[in-house]
A and B are shown apart, each in its own frame.
Chain A
Amino acid sequence: MSGRVAIVDVAQTKHGAPYIRNLTVSDLVYIVVKELLEKTGISIEDLETIITSSSDFWQGSGCSNVFYFDAAGAYLKDSPKVEEDSALGFVYAFMRILSGHFDKALIVAVTKCSEAPSISDITSLNSDPFYQRPVGIEEVTAAGLQAQQYVSRYKLSDEIRAEIAVKNYRNAINNPYAHRRMNLTIDEVLGSEILAYPLRRLEVADGSDGAVAVLISSEEAARKLTDTPVWIRGVGWSVDHYFLGDRDLLEVVSLREASERAYKMSGIRYPRKQIDLAEVCETSTVQELLWYEGLGFCNRGEGWKLIADGVTGMYGELPVNPSGGVLATNPYVARGLIRVAEATLQLKGEAGRRQVPDAETAIAHSTHGAAGSHHTVIVLGR
């Protein structure tokens, strides 16, 4: 590999905000790309490649990237689209810089969930039409099956689950970009209706509208563009079996694989000690615990202890989702790149009221697929 790659800067919309409903997908893309170019002081002519990330199903258009191609500034540029998970768009851009063919790359991701059917409806189309779709397997029901398995295997209490939701919605209050910013009690979470037993409405990530853009560059270019580059230290991504019945939903093998690859590349041996904060992609409360385990923050079945002991709270030893995470903000395909953007703001020391003090190393994690079948782990450092 040739040299180091840095994140220069990031930009995001105020996700799920009322003003966004009147804007098109192209408008959202344009807003974040323009803001990022202004922030970094480069012009669109300085960029040769723009990696976009969106979903044709979510956008209701074939070739969703073509629709906002001009808005992304991609006219007459090398601009492909990575589907379903913008964290993968980020790793593709990273590979392009590593190759030495490009010295700068912009990644932009967008989804307007308000213009699409529900997450359950769209993700039921992720299920094959023969076995899984007819019995109602989609993101929410799969998360419910996974949660129930966790509850029965590890005797997880309702209160711990609710505390995760309380933590994330409360953290979101400090995040001006977050969608659902709420100060809730455990009783309020447990009092919301059941969506997929045992998960309740406030334990499951609903959709948002939003866009996010990230500029990365070679070390040489980064030194000229910013005083606070954030280095990409390691990446890993991996997939599990497709059929839920073929998987132990609590083993999260693809997350273990992805994190091992990212840790190996970045020289991380003791994640809990060496990582200062993590932005994870929890589509349900129980998934946040599973991701702790898969990321090696604790042993199997012990994720709940990190919540009980406040380890992953805002003032804990390893804060997780100081932004409020995906429960608070979920513009579906953009959510992975938002994790990268939030981790970057933390390492730059620009996270405002959600800032974790002295953050040196952070993780951005993303997942898509039923019960977290595909995972991406990105290690960032100052």
Chain B
Amino acid sequence: MRKVAIVGVGQTRCGRRDDVSFPELVHEAVKEALEDARLDIKDIEAFITGSMPAPMSGINAPHLYWADAVGAYRKPIIRVATCGTTGGSIAHTGYYHVASGLFDVVMVVGAEKMYEGDPQGVMTTIWDYRYERPFLAGAPGVFAMQAMEYIHRYNFTLEEVAEAAALLSVKHHLAALDNPYAHIKQEITVEDVLRSRIVAYPIRLLDICPISDGACAVILASEDKARKITDTPVWIKGLGYCGDEQLLADKDLVWWLSAVKAAQKAYKMAGIENPVKQIDVAEVYNPFTYQELTFYECFGFCSRGEAVKLVKEGFFNKDGQLPTDPSGGVLCTNPIGATGLQRIAEAALQVMGRAGKRQIPAVETAFAHAMGGSYSLNSVFILSRSK
């Protein structure tokens, strides 16, 4: 099978970006990625694009609107969209473009301009229109149900879990200060989190990701090309993708089968048996602090019900045994169509050793995740310095 490597990444500054149009925003990321890989647009053979449901930005088939901005004129371009997982799904698509042998160098581009739309309104349309949409609005309500389920499953008190969630929030906000692309840059304390207003019980404002405008681009190459392009190719050693049922009542949101299986597939391909020992840093898709706890367990970073204790012990801190989201994660930056791809870009930068102030020392293997749909789709990548 053909090996595929990441050879360049580009990210925009995220936040409210009224200074640029949607195509201009996308162009920024594309330009950054080309400069990063020292490539010309002529070197890119095909483009893979994606964003949230197109209504998010009010443009249908946005790949056509972006076509000139990404430089795709007369070249192959495809749009893949799977809600929050989009960033992961388009990276999968890019991987198969190269792995198929049809292409040697391709660019994957994800973007979102959420301030131009009504994100919670659009997300409400994800829920089944017959049973769930009438009583579910946007994202936080479901996260709240999931949080309560987690608390009850393992007989925690709300205070115990709320404290762990608040510690995660503080950790990510602190990390985002070191990330030049991050949106929310604010130093906060555990008390700030626990005193912030409740959005959907028990979830508080500082437990929740923002909406952002932003774009991300990643260049993938075949082995021959990768060696010519860069001295620090980041190899895609494993990838997994898995989807669960649509209706919330049909699935377990504490032990998410789609997350468990996506990780297992990626681990198997990459030869990972002990994630904690073999993974040096993880970029987990973490829009909500409570949800992040469940992911740690599903990915085998700890046993079931153990995440609360480990968070309190600093296990996932920058100097802990398995540092997570040194970028500040989704909690601080969330242009949804780009968010999953940012996890991959950030993980790649860690492996390349070019993550600046957020660098974790001596990263050999990194983990990158994306989640979306009706809490039903999960994508996992294992990136490594060695093939």
Contact = CB atoms under 8 A, between A and B. Distances in A.
Contact of B74 (A100, A126, A253): A253
Interface stretch (A10-18, A161-169, A177-185, A234-242): A234-242
Given A1-B102, A63-B82, A81-B82, A122 B52 contact: no
Interface in A86-141: 88, 91-92, 94-96, 98-101, 122-123, 125-126, 128-130
Contact of A84 (B79, B123, B372): B79
A284 to B, nearest CB: 18
Contact of A83 (B1, B55, B79): B79
B60 A122 contact: yes
B72 interface: yes
A66 B241 contact: no
A69 interface: yes
A67 B246 contact: yes
A78 B242 contact: yes
A60 B59 contact: no
A83 B376 contact: no
Contact of B374 (A66, A80, A92, A99): A66
Interface string B89-102: 10011001101111
A56 interface: yes
A350 B129 CA distance: 39
Contacts of B242: 76-78
B101 A80 contact: no
B238 to A, nearest CB: 11
Contacts of A62: 52-53, 55-56, 83, 122-126
Residue among B58, B73, B101, B241 with max Cβ neighbours from chain A (10 Å): B73
A81 B99 contact: no
Interface in A61-82: 61-67, 69-70, 74-82
B96 A74 contact: no
Interface stretch (B62-70, B296-304, B321-329): B62-70
Interface size class of A (residues with CB under 8 A): 35 or more
A69 B52 contact: no
Contacts of A61: 53, 125-126, 129
B162 interface: no
B60 A70 contact: no
Contacts of A74: 243
A240 B74 CA distance: 6
Interface stretch (A214-222, A293-301, A367-375): A367-375
Contacts of B93: 80, 92
A64 B129 CA distance: 12
Given A66-B376, A82-B78, A239 B60 contact: no
A261 B102 CA distance: 11
Given A62-B52, A62-B53, A129-B58, A1 B100 contact: yes
Nearest to B48: A92
B254 interface: no
B68 A242 contact: yes
Given A123-B60, A129-B59, A242 B67 contact: yes
Given A57-B60, A80-B92, A81-B82, A69 B246 contact: yes
A254 interface: yes
A66 B86 CA distance: 13
Interface in B208-260: 240-246, 257-258
Interface residues of B, number: 61
A240 B55 contact: no
B128 interface: yes
A374 B65 CA distance: 11
Contacts of B126: 61-63, 66
A82 B92 CA distance: 12
B64 A242 contact: yes
A198 B227 CA distance: 55
B267 to A, nearest CB: 15
A152 interface: no
Interface string A237-281: 111111100100000011001000100000000000000000000
A350 B249 CA distance: 43
A56 B61 contact: no
Contacts of A100: 1, 99
Which secondary structure dominates where chain B touches chain A? Answer: mixed
Nearest to B375: A66
Contact of A80 (B97, B99, B241, B257): B241
Nearest to A370: B64
Contacts of A92: 78, 80, 93, 96
B375 to A, nearest CB: 10
A55 interface: yes
Contact of B59 (A80, A95, A128, A243): A128
A66 B373 contact: yes
Contacts of A76: 242-244, 257-258, 261
Contacts of B65: 126, 128, 242
B310 interface: no
Given A62-B125, A63-B373, A125-B59, A80 B80 contact: yes
Contacts of A253: 74
Given A99-B2, A239-B64, A242-B68, A69 B99 contact: no
Interface in A16-52: none
Residue among A79, A95, A125 with max Cβ neighbours from chain B (10 Å): A95
A238 B243 contact: no
Contacts of B54: 55-57, 83, 125
A21 B351 CA distance: 53
A157 interface: no
B185 to A, nearest CB: 29
Interface in B29-74: 52-56, 58-61, 63-65, 67-68, 72-74
B77 A239 contact: yes
19 contacts: A55-B54, A56-B125, A63-B374, A66-B246, A67-B128, A82-B80, A83-B61, A84-B63, A91-B78, A98-B99, A125-B60, A126-B59, A235-B102, A238-B75, A239-B72, A241-B68, A257-B74, A261-B76, A369-B64
Interface of B: 1-2, 21, 52-56, 58-61, 63-65, 67-68, 72-83, 89, 92-93, 96-97, 99-102, 122-126, 128-129, 240-246, 257-258, 261, 265, 372-374, 376-377
Instruction: Please name the 7 residue pairs, one residue from A and one from B, whose CB atoms are nearest each other, closest first.
Output: A62-B53, A99-B99, A98-B100, A1-B101, A95-B100, A56-B53, A62-B126
Given A66-B243, A66-B373, A235-B102, 8 more contacts: A63-B81, A67-B246, A76-B243, A77-B242, A81-B80, A101-B99, A239-B75, A369-B64
